[in-house]
């Protein structure tokens, strides 16, 4: 006797967007020497956040505040919005799931870029939406093409990441403002700004928080080094934000994570230090690529995408060789970007491990 799954669930493949490094470690029977594949912040969270979470451990018998009141108040002050403009959730991934649940019914059109963040696609498929994909323009997402396609298919939702994962590219604020002006009536732009702390000044535009055409999503996973805590937030018009209360898990936020995020937000010095470390690590990865005859793409994120100079099959062999030698990295999934590998910024010891194994992996890949 099996459960009576919905017709939609019966049509879905048994897949997940990403295979975690822990799964790969179990399969290979050994831990990775360097963990440079998930765009985690290997430089770690603020010591103030660690201390605050440690102090909160004894109170873990209590649920977290279902309103996320203190964190929303602090974020509102930092961003110049009201708490009514903010929703806090279980990372951007959790918020994307809630957003898709709010908007998408079976058959509804959704637009994204071919090769963009696959977890968004996973949520859309899970609620029966129909994905319409547009190609990148070179190594950048193409906002104009996204909006054109949204008009064609009468999309309810469009996804755009700035800066972009997996290519590390970015658009300036004026391009994003132009994209918002092109959002069709009845369409919502989900603007994923997970990596915005690492981007050049002038990347994130000023957006009226009451603008009903866009919701911008941000996270404590990257710049603040709290990926394991799962804390993300979104800024949007109050009516849209209030609608999240209809579907969200009201006790989904971990109490210690709420406290840690609040402490991390207050430690501006640590964030500045982290950004400087990431900039240095990107330069180191650029040098490693050049030493091996490869080209590192410009990056506004905490990772560097490295062009291996051939096709996807060659890059997959390079990736397999690096992983086999104990360094966890990833790569874009879709051609022509699958000619690349993607390496997270991290401490020098981990980058040194990558530098050591990359020549061996390249030599092996060139032998076919």
- Maximum Cα interatomic distance, the chain, rounded to a whole number of Å: 59
* CA separation for the pair 190, 192 (Å, rounded): 6
Share of the chain above pLDDT 70, in %: 100
- What letter does residue 131 receive in the DSSP assignment? E
pLDDT of 15 reads: 81
Q: What angle do CA 109, 124, 195 make, to 5 degrees?
A: 110
345's tokens = 């910024």
- Per residue in 213-229, pLDDT tens? 999 999 999 999 999 99
Collapsed DSSP state (helix, strand, coil) of residue 89: strand
- Per residue in 241-278, pLDDT tens? 999 999 999 999 999 999 999 999 999 999 999 999 99
291's tokens = 């030493």
Domains detected in the chain: 18-44+269-366 (3.90.1150.10), 47-266 (3.40.640.10)
Q: Structure pTM?
A: 0.97
Provide the mean pLDDT of the chain.
97
- Per residue in 119-138, pLDDT tens? 999 999 999 999 999 999 99
Looking at beta carbons, which pairs linking 362-367 to residues 24 or more positions away fall under 8 Å?
A: 362/292, 362/308, 362/318, 362/321, 364/317, 364/321, 365/308, 365/314, 365/317, 365/318, 365/321, 366/314
166's tokens = 């997996």
């Amino acid at each position: 006797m099996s459960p009576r799954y919905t017709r939609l669930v019966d049509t879905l493949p048994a897949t997940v967007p990403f295979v975690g490094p822990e799964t790969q470690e179990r399969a290979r029977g050994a831990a990775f020497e360097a963990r440079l594949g998930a765009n985690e912040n290997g430089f770690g969270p603020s010591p103030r956040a660690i201390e605050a979470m440690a102090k909160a451990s004894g109170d873990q018998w209590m649920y977290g505040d279902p309103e996320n009141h203190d964190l929303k108040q602090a974020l509102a002050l930092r961003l110049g919005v009201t708490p009514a403009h903010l929703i806090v959730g279980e990372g951007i991934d959790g918020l994307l799931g809630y957003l898709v649940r709010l908007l998408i019914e079976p058959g509804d059109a959704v637009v994204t870029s071919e090769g963009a963040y696959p977890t968004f696609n996973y949520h859309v498929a899970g609620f029966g939406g129909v994905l319409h994909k547009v190609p990148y323009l070179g190594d950048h997402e193409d906002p104009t093409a996204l909006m054109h396609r949204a008009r064609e298919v009468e999309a309810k939702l469009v996804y755009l990441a700035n800066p972009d994962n997996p290519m590390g590219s970015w658009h300036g604020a004026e391009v994003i403002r132009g994209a918002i002006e092109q959002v069709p009536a009845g369409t919502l732009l989900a603007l994923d700004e997970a990596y915005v702390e690492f981007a050049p000044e002038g990347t994130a535009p000023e957006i009226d928080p009451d603008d009903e055409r866009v919701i911008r999503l941000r996270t404590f996973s990257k710049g603040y080094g709290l990926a394991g805590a799962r804390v993300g937030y979104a800024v949007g018009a109050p009516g849209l934000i209030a609608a999240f209360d209809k579907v969200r898990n009201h006790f989904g936020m971990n109490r210690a994570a709420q406290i840690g995020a609040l402490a991390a937000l207050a430690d501006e010095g640590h964030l500045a230090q982290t950004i400087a470390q990431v900039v240095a690590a990107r330069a180191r990865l650029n040098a490693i690529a050049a030493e091996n005859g490869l080209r590192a793409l410009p990056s506004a994120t905490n990772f560097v995408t490295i062009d291996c100079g051939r096709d996807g099959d060659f890059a997959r062999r390079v990736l397999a060789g690096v992983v086999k030698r104990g360094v966890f990295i990833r790569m874009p999934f879709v051609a022509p970007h699958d000619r690349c590998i993607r390496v997270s910024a991290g401490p020098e010891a981990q980058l040194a491990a990558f530098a050591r194994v990359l020549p061996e992996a390249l030599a092996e890949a060139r032998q076919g």
